[in-house]
Amino acid sequence: MNRPVRIQLVLFAITAVVALVVGSTYALGSQSLRGSIDVHATMADASNIGVGTGVTYRGVAVGSVADVSVTAGGAEVRIALDPDTRVPVGSTASVTSNSALGIQTLDISPTTERGPYLTDGDSLDVPPELAPVRLDELLTRMAALAESIDPASITTIGETFSAAVGGTGTQLQQLLDDADTLSRMLDEHAPALANIVDRSVPILDTLASRSDALPGAARAAADVTQQLLAQEPSLIYLLDRSPDALARTQRLLDDTRGTVGALMTNLVTVTGVLAERTPALDALLIAMPETLGKLTSIVHGDRGDFTLVGTQGPVCWYDTPRRVVGDTTPREANLNLYCPPGDDLEQRGAQNAPRPNDLGLSGSTVPGSVTGPPIAENPLLVPTGVEALNYWKQLLEGVRK
């Protein structure tokens, strides 16, 4: 035998072996060469289940029934799974029919996607309620159902349905179109809806953990609702007037668009000034209601009577250091200051408050300065603008000296 013939025979032998292995694997399954995972299942009735019955996992073929034996409690089924099959422990199986010919298969449904997984000798649960109904029993049930239906009732249902939907083809088409639109919108916003649901779960858990506070919250909500109902005329008035007011506000903002930035910048400065004077603002807000109430006393009919006191005469003042704006910390009173006696001398300021412990003028060593024009005999004689300007010029010149 020459060399080319020997080479052809060797190649033929190799090809035959490979074909035999591939054919065996295809016909008998992967377990024919590498073994299988043998699991057991106990069934109350193994009808239509026999050796060679296919086994699927979520509809995918993963093995077959290797043996069926009778036991005291029913039937014991040995299942040979492909060695690469990973079936989670706790999975259930049911007998299903995948064709009109009634060919039965044992389909496995997992209860989790994680391990541990079934190994040799493990058991697979087959609940009795998932067992298929026998054909004769199914036909009996269908016959009983058909006999229980009243033909007259079916006629009445048909006539009623016809009367209900008669002439509403356009509306039904609109409903179908709207349903399609709604379905597409839900599909487009599915991530956002899923996020809302995920975020709602912790909120619901929190509400559940504080269920004892819900009655109080409900009572408070009912109280607020009752108050809103009591103010219904005012709310209606506001709702009627608000659109016009908002429109005017929008026009104002549109007209001042170029200056709003400068206004906001100035408000930063004003806010800082007001923040430093919070105690004074508190005092103003407390005193303002009473002051506004007293202002009503000057109203007579449709007129208001004002009296302007132009000057109260000279005053006494002290050249003492001033506090930083907003500083309200207590400090010791200076008991050495006093205001020198004089005719019509108005003693003003907290430094001229009555001295404690009836000290009188004892210990007073630093007299205050007197400034201001003499008291006017008639307060209604207000000096002219020129006279007031000249007076303040003289006052400023005296301070500079």
Query: Domain boundary residue among 239, 264, 295?
Result: 295
Residue 124 and residue 39 share a domain: yes
The CA distance from 219 to 109, in Å, is 49
For residue 58, the 8-state DSSP code is T
Q: 79 with 39: CB under 8 angstroms?
A: yes
Residue 284 lies in a domain: yes
Please tell me the least confidently modeled range out of 218-222, 300-304, 344-348, 378-382.
378-382
Residue 165 lies in a domain: no
Residue 193 lies in a domain: no
Residue 343 lies in a domain: yes
| Span 306-321, average pLDDT | 70
Residue labelled with tokens 């007076």: 391
Strand, coil or helix: 302:
coil
Residue 126 and residue 48 share a domain: yes
For residue 100, the 8-state DSSP code is T
Q: What per-residue confidence (pLDDT) applies to 230?
A: 85
Nearest partner of 62 among 94, 125, 106, 104, judged by Cα: 106
Average pLDDT, the chain: 77
Is the model more confident about 11 or about 222? 222
pLDDT in tens, 110-145: 888 777 888 888 888 887 776 666 667 778 888 888
Q: What per-residue confidence (pLDDT) applies to 127?
A: 79
Residue 127 and residue 70 share a domain: yes
Q: 311 with 373: CB under 8 angstroms?
A: yes
Q: Is the pLDDT of residue 356 over 70?
A: no
Residue 347 and residue 282 share a domain: no
Query: Domain boundary residue among 136, 168, 183?
Result: 136
The CA distance from 365 to 77, in Å, is 118
Range picked from 215-219, 286-290, 388-392 for highest mean pLDDT:
286-290
Q: How far apart are the first and last CA of the chain?
A: 141
Residue 340 and residue 284 share a domain: no
- 154-to-142, 143, 157, 165 alpha-carbon distances in Å: 17, 17, 5, 16
Q: How confident is the model at residue 387 (pLDDT cuts 50, 70, 90)?
A: low
Residue 359 and residue 283 share a domain: no
Domain range for 271 is 228-295
Q: 108 with 54: CB under 8 angstroms?
A: no
pLDDT in tens, 156-200: 888 888 888 788 888 888 888 888 888 888 888 888 888 888 888
Using only C-alpha atoms, what is the Rg of the chain?
50
Residue 183 lies in a domain: no
Contacts of 130 (CB under 8 A, 6+ apart): 92, 93, 94, 95
The CA distance from 202 to 94, in Å, is 37
Q: Is the pLDDT of residue 319 over 70?
A: yes
Residue 47 lies in a domain: yes
Q: How confident is the model at residue 155 (pLDDT cuts 50, 70, 90)?
A: confident
Q: 336 with 365: CB under 8 angstroms?
A: yes
Q: What per-residue confidence (pLDDT) applies to 347?
A: 59
Q: Is the bond preceding 110 in cis, omega lying within 30 degrees of 0?
A: no
Residue 188 lies in a domain: no
Phi-psi region of 360 (alpha: psi -120 to 50; beta: other; left: phi over 0): left
Please tell me the least confidently modeled range out of 8-12, 90-94, 119-123, 218-222.
8-12
Residue 40 and residue 91 share a domain: yes
Residue 253 lies in a domain: yes
Query: Domain boundary residue among 136, 165, 198?
Result: 136
Q: What per-residue confidence (pLDDT) applies to 258?
A: 75
The CA distance from 81 to 93, in Å, is 13
Q: What per-residue confidence (pLDDT) applies to 386?
A: 60
Nearest partner of 392 among 377, 378, 371, 375, judged by Cα: 371
Q: What per-residue confidence (pLDDT) applies to 110?
A: 84
In total, how many domains does the chain have? 3
Q: How many helices (H) and strands (E) does the chain have?
A: 11, 13
Residue 346 and residue 290 share a domain: no
pLDDT in tens, 28-66: 555 555 567 888 888 777 666 778 788 888 878 888 888
pLDDT in tens, 209-262: 777 777 778 888 888 888 888 888 888 888 888 888 888 888 887 888 777 777
In this prediction the pTM is 0.32
